[in-house]
Amino acid sequence: MSKRRTKIVATLGPASESADVIEKLILAGMDVARLNFSHGTADDHRQKAKLVRDIAKRHRRYVALMGDLQGPKIRIARFANTRVELSNGQAFVLSNDHPADAGNADIVGIDYPPLVQDCAPGDELLLDDGRIILQVDKVENNAVYTTVTAGGELSNHKGINRRGGGISAPSLTDKDRADILLAAELEVDYIAVSFPRYGRDMQQARELVQQAGSNAWIVAKIERAEAVADDEALDDIISASDAVMVARGDLGVEVGDARLVGIQKRIIQHARTLNKLVITATQMMESMVSSPIPTRAEVSDVANAVLDHTDAVMLSGESAAGKYPVEAVSAMARICVGAEQEPVNKRSQHRLWERFERCDDTIALSAMYAANHFPGIKAIISLSESGRTPLIMSRIRSSVPIFCFTRHESTQNRAALFRGVYSMPFDAAAYAPEDVNQAAISCLVAHKIVHPGDWVILTQGDLYCPQGGTNGMKILQVT
């Protein structure tokens, strides 16, 4: 059983779609496999999802599947010669009327026509993740006229951001709606929504997911400036979601690099306070696309996210298209384990002065208080239907492993993303009520997680309680 508490999300792509590499990724520590719907066909994703499920089952591992929706394509069109070189100070035009495949160093078409209405003189437009910066001079004749303030090479279909946000594109496109149906077919555990601005965007996504017959949890990718404009805006999106992703690519472009780290810490803190999962993503190990060893700065980046108590760290291009996908997962796992050794990760000051609103929350947080203050506790067993009780437990800093004992495969997979939580297949209804506790402890003994003389905390609901009815906690000694 892994002692690593922080989970790893790895994106599957051309470098990691074979059975051999997927198996190595799972063995190296991949807890969640991300299917990026921006690339590949439906059949590609079907094949990768089946490989993940089959290989994980063969190794008795629980690996969640995440379907990541593309969202609105706010991009330039194409150049006649694939790419151009822009110089500082030159004029450059983004035009709705220019032919889509005939861009040049003076003008290029736009794949997102409403950009013309979203821009005004004085705005800054950032292309290709901020590598190219354009100052808007005027907007007329269905085109945006700009001056290049930071030049360089620009190629086909690069993304466009507006400094400070304000692009009016809706979060969900027709492609996203089709991909939600595919995600439901694949029975993914999480669906990530790109570019939400408000909580109502996430509510709309949830309705579409439910209509598709899926019970996947919904992840808000925080990547627009509007989403982090203030605490009220951020909490609106977090509260409407099951999890959030700190998507630092577009977010960093819109808010600026100088503010990004502080905003990342705020998102993680707010998500945990609101009992939601949080994933830190984008360029965490970027150099490992072409190098087998991370830089010291990348090590620090991953470690700091772990110290902030993120649930998961994510690999994108590193595992999808890089030369060293397995090495990237292994390095990330090693860094997580190293950072988790710091004492700050094992002590919690969380919610000491708060009131609890639900019975199951009260049991979950009481269990964590006991686990952190009674040195004999070696493990926590949560008998759970939905996974909510171990989720709430995992909001508290601790070094004690939390085991989600559940009969539902969907809950087993979903818990793969919860920090410090590990799934165990267990059907309490298969035992007489007086035998359940011993049967659960025997599972941990069989896996050599606990030994005679150790203490275990066990939480459960009475048999007459409905789902969400965890109302009891026991401290039991292993015999």
Q: Would residue 75 show up in a list of annotated catalytic residues for this protein?
A: yes
User: Can you give the pLDDT at residue 351?
Assistant: 56
Closest CA to 244 of 263, 213, 219: 219
Q: Is 98 helix (H, G, I), strand (E, B) or coil?
A: coil
pTM above 0.95, yes or no: no
Neighbours of 95 (CB within 10 A): 18
Catalytic residue list contains 358: no
- Catalytic-labelled residue, pool 282, 310, 389, 470: 282
DSSP track, 363-420: HHHHHHHHHHH-TTEEEEEEE-SSSHHHHHHTTS--SS-EEEEES-HHHHHHGGGSTT
- Stated as kind and residue range, the H or E segment containing 371 is helix 359-373
221 is catalytic: yes
Residue with tokens 């003189």: 121
pLDDT in tens, 152-184: 999 998 989 999 888 888 889 999 999 999 999
∠ CA 178-184-189, nearest 5°, is 125
Neighbours of 122 (CB within 10 A): 8
Residue 369 host element (H or E): helix 359-373
User: How high is the pLDDT of residue 466?
Assistant: 54
Which residues of the chain are under the pLDDT cut of 70? Answer: 1-2, 346-354, 463-468
How is residue 226 written in tokens?
């509007």
Q: What is the distance in angstroms between the CA of the first residue and the CA of the last residue of the chain? A: 21
pLDDT score for 463: 58
- The residue whose two tokens read 């998500």 is 271
Of 4, 5, 7, 34, the catalytic one is 34
Q: Are 26 and 358 in contact (CB under 8 A)?
A: no
CB neighbours of 144 closer than 8 A, spacing ≥ 6? Answer: 93, 94, 95, 110, 115, 116, 119, 125, 136
Amino acid of residue 144: V
Closest CA to 96 of 79, 115, 81, 83: 115
The predicted-structure confidence for 85-144, as pLDDT tens digits, reads as follows 999 999 999 999 999 999 999 999 998 889 999 999 999 999 998 899 999 999 998 999
- CA–CA gap between residue 299 and residue 297 (Å, rounded): 5
Residue whose entry in the numeric block shows the structure tokens 């794949």: 111
Q: Which residues pair with 110 in a beta bridge?
A: 76
Instruction: Report the distance separating Cα 441 and Cα 379, nearest Å.
Output: 10
Strand partners, 278: 244
Q: What are the structure tokens assigned to 338, written together?
A: 């190293």
Read off φ and ψ for residue 459, nearest 5 degrees.
-115, 145
Distance CA 259, CA 257 (A): 6
Predicted local confidence at residue 349, as pLDDT: 60
Phi, psi of 11 (to 5 degrees): -80, 130
